[in-house]
Protein backbone atom coordinates (compact mmCIF):
# COMPACT_ATOMS: atom_id res chain seq x y z
CA UNK A 1 0.00 0.00 0.00
CA UNK A 2 1.29 3.39 -0.97
CA UNK A 3 2.14 5.84 1.77
CA UNK A 4 0.04 8.97 2.11
CA UNK A 5 3.09 11.12 1.36
CA UNK A 6 3.83 9.50 -2.01
CA UNK A 7 2.69 10.94 -5.32
CA UNK A 8 -0.11 9.49 -7.42
CA UNK A 9 0.20 6.31 -9.44
CA UNK A 10 -0.88 6.56 -13.06
CA UNK A 11 -4.07 4.81 -14.18
CA UNK A 12 -2.62 3.41 -17.40
CA UNK A 13 -2.42 0.15 -19.31
CA UNK A 14 0.04 -1.34 -16.83
CA UNK A 15 -2.10 -0.46 -13.81
CA UNK A 16 -5.25 -1.84 -15.46
CA UNK A 17 -3.44 -5.05 -16.40
CA UNK A 18 -2.41 -5.51 -12.78
CA UNK A 19 -5.99 -4.90 -11.60
CA UNK A 20 -8.26 -6.78 -14.04
CA UNK A 21 -12.03 -6.59 -13.98
CA UNK A 22 -14.10 -9.60 -12.86
CA UNK A 23 -14.64 -12.16 -15.63
CA UNK A 24 -18.10 -13.62 -16.23
CA UNK A 25 -17.89 -16.87 -18.15
CA UNK A 26 -20.41 -18.72 -20.28
CA UNK A 27 -23.49 -19.69 -18.31
CA UNK A 28 -23.47 -16.54 -16.18
CA UNK A 29 -26.99 -15.17 -15.78
CA UNK A 30 -28.09 -11.60 -15.08
CA UNK A 31 -28.34 -12.22 -11.33
CA UNK A 32 -24.66 -13.14 -11.19
CA UNK A 33 -23.63 -9.97 -13.03
CA UNK A 34 -24.92 -7.75 -10.24
CA UNK A 35 -27.92 -5.53 -9.54
CA UNK A 36 -27.67 -1.73 -9.49
CA UNK A 37 -30.15 0.63 -7.84
CA UNK A 38 -30.02 4.26 -8.97
CA UNK A 39 -31.94 6.75 -6.81
CA UNK A 40 -32.28 10.32 -7.98
CA UNK A 41 -33.70 12.48 -10.68
CA UNK A 42 -36.09 15.39 -10.51
CA UNK A 43 -38.81 17.03 -12.56
CA UNK A 44 -36.25 19.54 -13.80
CA UNK A 45 -33.78 16.86 -14.98
CA UNK A 46 -36.28 14.14 -15.80
CA UNK A 47 -34.02 12.20 -18.18
CA UNK A 48 -30.80 12.29 -16.19
CA UNK A 49 -31.13 8.79 -14.78
CA UNK A 50 -31.37 7.40 -18.29
CA UNK A 51 -27.70 8.24 -18.78
CA UNK A 52 -26.70 6.50 -15.54
CA UNK A 53 -28.80 3.44 -16.32
CA UNK A 54 -27.53 3.00 -19.86
CA UNK A 55 -23.94 3.37 -18.70
CA UNK A 56 -24.52 0.73 -16.01
CA UNK A 57 -25.88 -1.73 -18.55
CA UNK A 58 -23.06 -1.03 -21.01
CA UNK A 59 -20.50 -1.63 -18.25
CA UNK A 60 -21.97 -5.06 -17.62
CA UNK A 61 -24.58 -4.82 -14.86
CA UNK A 62 -27.11 -7.64 -15.03
CA UNK A 63 -30.02 -5.67 -13.56
CA UNK A 64 -30.73 -1.97 -13.10
CA UNK A 65 -33.55 -0.35 -11.16
CA UNK A 66 -34.34 3.36 -11.24
CA UNK A 67 -36.09 5.12 -8.37
CA UNK A 68 -37.20 8.62 -9.28
CA UNK A 69 -39.96 11.19 -8.91
CA UNK A 70 -43.42 9.98 -9.83
CA UNK A 71 -43.89 12.55 -12.61
CA UNK A 72 -40.83 11.23 -14.49
CA UNK A 73 -41.10 7.50 -13.76
CA UNK A 74 -43.36 6.38 -16.62
CA UNK A 75 -41.46 8.19 -19.36
CA UNK A 76 -38.14 7.04 -17.91
CA UNK A 77 -39.34 3.44 -17.93
CA UNK A 78 -40.28 3.74 -21.60
CA UNK A 79 -36.92 5.34 -22.42
CA UNK A 80 -34.98 2.53 -20.67
CA UNK A 81 -37.16 -0.58 -21.14
CA UNK A 82 -34.35 -2.82 -19.83
CA UNK A 83 -34.63 -1.29 -16.35
CA UNK A 84 -37.17 -1.56 -13.58
CA UNK A 85 -38.62 1.75 -12.41
CA UNK A 86 -39.87 2.77 -8.96
CA UNK A 87 -42.03 5.87 -8.70
CA UNK A 88 -41.35 7.91 -5.55
CA UNK A 89 -43.32 10.69 -3.94
CA UNK A 90 -42.20 14.18 -4.90
CA UNK A 91 -42.30 17.64 -3.46
CA UNK A 92 -44.13 20.57 -5.02
CA UNK A 93 -40.77 21.61 -6.46
CA UNK A 94 -40.37 18.27 -8.25
CA UNK A 95 -37.74 16.67 -6.01
CA UNK A 96 -37.91 13.30 -4.27
CA UNK A 97 -39.81 13.78 -1.00
CA UNK A 98 -41.87 12.05 1.63
CA UNK A 99 -41.26 8.66 3.25
CA UNK A 100 -39.29 5.92 1.56
CA UNK A 101 -41.88 3.54 0.15
CA UNK A 102 -41.85 -0.20 0.74
CA UNK A 103 -40.91 -0.80 -2.89
CA UNK A 104 -37.66 1.08 -2.42
CA UNK A 105 -36.89 -0.86 0.75
CA UNK A 106 -37.30 -4.10 -1.21
CA UNK A 107 -35.00 -2.79 -3.95
CA UNK A 108 -32.35 -1.86 -1.38
CA UNK A 109 -32.35 -5.40 0.00
CA UNK A 110 -31.93 -6.95 -3.45
CA UNK A 111 -29.28 -4.59 -4.86
CA UNK A 112 -25.52 -5.08 -4.91
CA UNK A 113 -24.71 -1.41 -5.44
CA UNK A 114 -26.65 1.82 -5.02
CA UNK A 115 -26.04 5.23 -6.60
CA UNK A 116 -27.62 8.13 -4.74
CA UNK A 117 -27.92 11.65 -6.14
CA UNK A 118 -27.73 11.80 -9.96
CA UNK A 119 -29.98 14.45 -11.55
CA UNK A 120 -31.19 15.84 -8.23
CA UNK A 121 -31.06 19.63 -7.88
CA UNK A 122 -31.97 20.39 -4.25
CA UNK A 123 -29.49 19.82 -1.41
CA UNK A 124 -32.14 19.58 1.31
CA UNK A 125 -34.07 16.92 -0.59
CA UNK A 126 -30.85 15.01 -1.21
CA UNK A 127 -29.99 15.17 2.50
CA UNK A 128 -33.43 13.89 3.51
CA UNK A 129 -33.06 11.07 1.01
CA UNK A 130 -29.67 10.07 2.45
CA UNK A 131 -31.18 10.00 5.94
CA UNK A 132 -34.09 7.88 4.78
CA UNK A 133 -31.91 5.41 2.93
CA UNK A 134 -29.45 5.06 5.82
CA UNK A 135 -32.41 4.35 8.08
CA UNK A 136 -33.67 1.54 5.88
CA UNK A 137 -33.60 -2.09 6.93
CA UNK A 138 -30.64 -2.86 4.67
CA UNK A 139 -28.38 -0.80 2.45
CA UNK A 140 -26.36 -2.40 -0.39
CA UNK A 141 -22.76 -3.26 0.43
CA UNK A 142 -21.52 -0.81 -2.24
CA UNK A 143 -22.83 2.74 -2.00
CA UNK A 144 -22.03 5.70 -4.30
CA UNK A 145 -22.72 9.33 -3.45
CA UNK A 146 -22.93 11.45 -6.57
CA UNK A 147 -23.74 15.03 -7.56
CA UNK A 148 -26.11 16.93 -5.24
CA UNK A 149 -26.00 14.16 -2.63
CA UNK A 150 -22.33 15.01 -2.03
CA UNK A 151 -23.21 18.51 -0.83
CA UNK A 152 -25.56 16.93 1.71
CA UNK A 153 -22.95 14.45 2.95
CA UNK A 154 -20.92 16.95 4.94
CA UNK A 155 -23.34 16.95 7.89
CA UNK A 156 -23.71 13.16 7.76
CA UNK A 157 -20.08 12.12 8.03
CA UNK A 158 -20.53 9.97 11.13
CA UNK A 159 -23.41 8.01 9.63
CA UNK A 160 -21.56 7.46 6.35
CA UNK A 161 -18.24 6.28 7.80
CA UNK A 162 -19.81 3.00 8.87
CA UNK A 163 -19.45 1.87 5.25
CA UNK A 164 -15.67 1.88 5.76
CA UNK A 165 -14.10 1.56 2.33
CA UNK A 166 -17.24 0.47 0.48
CA UNK A 167 -18.46 4.06 0.06
CA UNK A 168 -17.40 5.94 -3.08
CA UNK A 169 -17.71 9.73 -3.39
CA UNK A 170 -17.58 11.05 -6.96
CA UNK A 171 -16.91 14.75 -6.43
CA UNK A 172 -16.02 17.65 -8.66
CA UNK A 173 -14.04 20.58 -7.24
CA UNK A 174 -17.09 22.44 -5.91
CA UNK A 175 -18.47 19.34 -4.23
CA UNK A 176 -15.14 18.40 -2.66
CA UNK A 177 -14.69 21.97 -1.43
CA UNK A 178 -18.13 21.80 0.20
CA UNK A 179 -17.14 18.65 2.10
CA UNK A 180 -13.99 20.34 3.43
CA UNK A 181 -15.39 23.87 3.72
CA UNK A 182 -12.40 25.31 1.89
CA UNK A 183 -11.03 25.81 -1.59
CA UNK A 184 -9.23 22.76 -2.99
CA UNK A 185 -7.52 24.23 -6.07
CA UNK A 186 -4.16 24.85 -4.41
CA UNK A 187 -3.70 21.34 -2.93
CA UNK A 188 -5.98 18.91 -4.76
CA UNK A 189 -4.03 15.78 -3.80
CA UNK A 190 -4.14 16.66 -0.12
CA UNK A 191 -7.85 17.50 -0.37
CA UNK A 192 -8.97 14.27 -2.00
CA UNK A 193 -6.92 12.22 0.44
CA UNK A 194 -8.45 14.13 3.34
CA UNK A 195 -12.00 13.39 2.18
CA UNK A 196 -11.15 9.72 1.70
CA UNK A 197 -9.80 9.52 5.25
CA UNK A 198 -12.63 11.51 6.87
CA UNK A 199 -15.36 9.42 5.30
CA UNK A 200 -13.48 6.09 5.19
CA UNK A 201 -14.32 6.15 1.49
CA UNK A 202 -12.86 6.00 -1.97
CA UNK A 203 -12.89 9.66 -3.01
CA UNK A 204 -12.70 11.03 -6.54
CA UNK A 205 -11.80 14.54 -7.56
CA UNK A 206 -13.09 14.95 -11.11
CA UNK A 207 -11.09 17.54 -13.06
CA UNK A 208 -9.28 17.70 -16.38
CA UNK A 209 -7.09 15.12 -14.66
CA UNK A 210 -8.95 12.97 -12.15
CA UNK A 211 -7.56 11.97 -8.75
CA UNK A 212 -8.71 8.92 -6.78
CA UNK A 213 -7.78 8.34 -3.13
CA UNK A 214 -8.33 5.46 -0.74
CA UNK A 215 -8.82 5.78 3.04
CA UNK A 216 -5.33 4.35 3.53
CA UNK A 217 -3.78 7.18 1.50
CA UNK A 218 -3.21 5.46 -1.84
CA UNK A 219 -3.55 7.97 -4.67
CA UNK A 220 -4.21 7.40 -8.38
CA UNK A 221 -4.28 9.84 -11.27
CA UNK A 222 -5.89 9.63 -14.71
CA UNK A 223 -4.75 12.39 -17.07
CA UNK A 224 -8.19 12.96 -18.57
CA UNK A 225 -10.24 12.24 -21.65
CA UNK A 226 -10.37 15.73 -23.07
CA UNK A 227 -12.39 18.91 -22.79
CA UNK A 228 -15.33 17.29 -24.58
CA UNK A 229 -16.26 15.49 -21.36
CA UNK A 230 -17.01 18.83 -19.71
CA UNK A 231 -20.66 18.61 -20.73
CA UNK A 232 -24.01 18.07 -19.05
CA UNK A 233 -24.69 14.46 -18.10
CA UNK A 234 -21.08 13.30 -18.34
CA UNK A 235 -20.87 12.71 -14.59
CA UNK A 236 -24.12 10.72 -14.67
CA UNK A 237 -22.51 8.36 -17.17
CA UNK A 238 -19.42 7.94 -14.98
CA UNK A 239 -21.60 7.08 -11.98
CA UNK A 240 -23.34 4.35 -13.96
CA UNK A 241 -20.09 2.78 -15.12
CA UNK A 242 -18.76 2.78 -11.57
CA UNK A 243 -21.95 1.26 -10.16
CA UNK A 244 -21.88 -1.60 -12.65
CA UNK A 245 -18.27 -2.49 -11.94
CA UNK A 246 -18.93 -2.49 -8.21
CA UNK A 247 -22.04 -4.63 -8.63
CA UNK A 248 -20.05 -7.07 -10.76
CA UNK A 249 -17.62 -7.59 -7.88
CA UNK A 250 -14.67 -5.29 -8.59
CA UNK A 251 -12.98 -3.92 -5.47
CA UNK A 252 -13.86 -0.26 -4.78
CA UNK A 253 -10.50 1.27 -5.69
CA UNK A 254 -10.19 -0.84 -8.83
CA UNK A 255 -13.76 -0.06 -9.87
CA UNK A 256 -13.13 3.67 -9.40
CA UNK A 257 -9.97 3.59 -11.50
CA UNK A 258 -11.50 1.49 -14.26
CA UNK A 259 -14.63 3.65 -14.43
CA UNK A 260 -12.60 6.84 -14.76
CA UNK A 261 -10.43 5.27 -17.45
CA UNK A 262 -13.39 3.87 -19.43
CA UNK A 263 -15.24 7.18 -19.22
CA UNK A 264 -12.16 9.16 -20.21
CA UNK A 265 -11.16 6.91 -23.08
CA UNK A 266 -14.73 6.97 -24.43
CA UNK A 267 -14.51 10.75 -24.43
CA UNK A 268 -11.13 10.67 -26.11
CA UNK A 269 -12.36 8.40 -28.93
CA UNK A 270 -15.44 10.48 -29.55
CA UNK A 271 -13.34 13.62 -29.66
CA UNK A 272 -11.08 12.06 -32.27
CA UNK A 273 -14.12 11.38 -34.44
CA UNK A 274 -16.31 14.42 -33.78
CA UNK A 275 -13.87 17.10 -32.68
CA UNK A 276 -12.68 18.31 -29.27
CA UNK A 277 -16.05 19.71 -28.16
CA UNK A 278 -19.68 19.08 -29.00
CA UNK A 279 -20.07 15.44 -27.95
CA UNK A 280 -23.22 14.38 -26.07
CA UNK A 281 -23.08 12.43 -22.81
CA UNK A 282 -25.53 9.89 -24.21
CA UNK A 283 -22.97 9.00 -26.90
CA UNK A 284 -20.45 7.72 -24.34
CA UNK A 285 -22.03 4.47 -23.06
CA UNK A 286 -22.01 2.69 -26.41
CA UNK A 287 -18.20 2.75 -26.46
CA UNK A 288 -17.78 1.10 -23.05
CA UNK A 289 -18.11 -2.60 -24.06
CA UNK A 290 -15.46 -2.29 -26.76
CA UNK A 291 -13.09 -0.47 -24.43
CA UNK A 292 -13.48 -3.18 -21.77
CA UNK A 293 -12.84 -5.89 -24.33
CA UNK A 294 -9.82 -4.11 -25.75
CA UNK A 295 -8.26 -3.55 -22.33
CA UNK A 296 -8.78 -7.10 -21.07
Residue 18's nearest CA partner among 258, 293, 265, 284 is 258
Cα–Cα distance measured from residue 131 to residue 136, given in angstroms and rounded to the nearest whole number = 9
Confidence of residue 3 (pLDDT cuts 50, 70, 90): very low
Please report the domains of the chain, with CATH numbers, ordered by start residue. 29-291 (3.40.1190.20)
Q: Contact at 8 Å (CB) between 66 and 78?
A: no
Question: Is residue 5 very low, low, confident or very high in pLDDT (cuts 50, 70, 90)?
Answer: low
pLDDT per residue over 158-188, tens digit each? 999 888 778 999 999 999 999 999 999 999 9
Phi, psi of 242, deg, nearest 5: -60, -45
pLDDT (mean) for 45-56:
96
pLDDT, average across residues 132-159: 92
What would the pLDDT profile of 67-121 be if each residue is shown by its tens digit?
999 999 999 999 999 999 999 999 999 999 977 767 788 899 999 999 999 999 9
Read off the pLDDT band of 23 (50, 70, 90).
confident
pLDDT of residue 259: 98
Please state, in angstroms and rounded to a whole number, the distance separating the CA atoms of residues 195 and 209. 18
Q: What is the dihedral of CA 260, 10, 161, 136, to 10 degrees?
A: 20
Question: pLDDT (tens digit, 9 = 90+) per residue, 104-119?
Answer: 888 999 999 999 999 9
Query: What is the Cα gyration radius of the chain?
Result: 18
What average pLDDT does range 122-149 have in this prediction?
92
Q: What is the mean pLDDT of residues 6-27?
A: 90
Average pLDDT, the chain: 93
**Tens digits of per-residue pLDDT, 194-216?**
999 999 999 999 999 999 999 99
Asked whether the predicted pLDDT for residue 256 surpasses 70, the reply is: yes
DSSP letter, residue 277 = S
Contact 170, 140 (CB under 8 A): no
Q: How many CB atoms lie within 10 A of CB 20?
A: 12
> Residues 121-146: what's their mean pLDDT?
92
pLDDT of 276 strictly over 60: yes
Partners of 203 in the beta sheet?
169, 213
The pTM score is 0.95
Closest listed residue to residue 223, CA positions, set 268, 179, 192: 268
How confident is residue 138, by pLDDT bands cut at 50, 70 and 90? confident
Assess whether pLDDT exceeds 80 at residue 274: yes
Over pLDDT 90: what percentage of the chain? Answer: 83
pLDDT higher than 50, residue 1: no
Amino acid sequence: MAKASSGPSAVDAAWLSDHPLPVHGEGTDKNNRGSVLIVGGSRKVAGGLRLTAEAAFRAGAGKVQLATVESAALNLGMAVPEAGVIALSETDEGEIGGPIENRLNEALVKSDCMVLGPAMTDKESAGALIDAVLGAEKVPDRFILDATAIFAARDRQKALTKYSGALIITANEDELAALLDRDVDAEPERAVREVAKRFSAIAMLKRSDTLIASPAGELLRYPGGGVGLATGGSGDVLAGILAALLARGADPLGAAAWSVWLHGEAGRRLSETLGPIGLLARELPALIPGLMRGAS
